Amino acid sequence: MEKKLKSVLCQWCRLDKAYKFSAGENRSVATEATDPDGSYEVTLVLTEDQAKDLAGDMRKTYEAGKQAGWSDWAPQSLADVFKKDETGHYLAKLKKKTYGDPGSKPRQWMPDGGAAAPDFQLTSGSTIHVSLAMYAWNMGGRAGVAMRPLDIMVINLAEASTGGGGGNPFAADAVTSNPFGLPNQTTPAGAASAPQAAEAPPLQRDLDDEIPF
């Protein structure tokens, strides 16, 4: 199942190139686009309404993809699906493995609808439109829904900051065109600036590196 989300915050963006975890350095490091262990990642910072909308479609995706013998996936609250940060936002991690395919990189688009440069670096605190694909998984008695980034369009690019914040991510409103055919949208008033959460993935996706897609 594919889904489009509009005007969402993002953080921990690793989309300029493929990355993989290095046990020796205990962190993610850049790798070649043909490295089968490499992946592209971005975390969405969602309001409660955005999280409810996404969680509902995740449940539909699981029910549609559930195979015989799979365990049920029936989260009872948003906290069962997403990690909640100290600001009250919900964190949804998107991850797309390369599988050795140099063409697997998610496409990125600028506010005017043009393609981003190959080495474009999306920054934490930016506001984006995102198109993603969802896949049901079941492994070792656990179940869930993995999400891959497909297309990302910048609405407002936050300034790079070593402190992890970077500008008001809701400052810009409309764009002149976009690759999804979505209407221009003004970002909601009074929204909080990008939170600085501890770098930890949502609970239900602790098995990211084991999920076979």
Which pLDDT score is estimated for 172?
45
% residues pLDDT > 90 (the chain)? 70
- 213 in a structural domain: no
Residue 146, SS3?
strand
> What's the domain count of the chain?
1
- 106 in a structural domain: yes
User: pLDDT (tens digit, 9 = 90+) per residue, 21-32?
Assistant: 999 999 999 999
CATH of the domain at 55: 2.40.50.140
pLDDT score of 196 more than 80: no
Look at the alpha carbons of 111, 165, 209, 141 in this order and tell me if their dihedral is positive or negative. Answer: negative
Name 143's Cβ contacts closer than 8 Å, sequence gap at least 6.
62, 70, 71, 72, 73, 136, 137
- 74 in a structural domain: yes
- 210 in a structural domain: no
pLDDT score of 176 more than 60: no
d(CA 210, CA 213): 9
DSSP string, 50-69: HHHHHHHHHHHHHHHH--TT
DSSP tally for the chain: helices H, then strands E: 1, 8
pLDDT score of 110 more than 90: yes
- The structure tokens 């959460």 sit at 197
Average pLDDT score, the chain = 82
Residue-number span of the structural domain to which 131 is assigned: 2-205
- 212 in a structural domain: no
pLDDT score of 54 more than 80: yes
- 67 in a structural domain: yes
- 10 in a structural domain: yes
User: pLDDT (tens digit, 9 = 90+) per residue, 122-137?
Assistant: 999 999 999 999 999 9
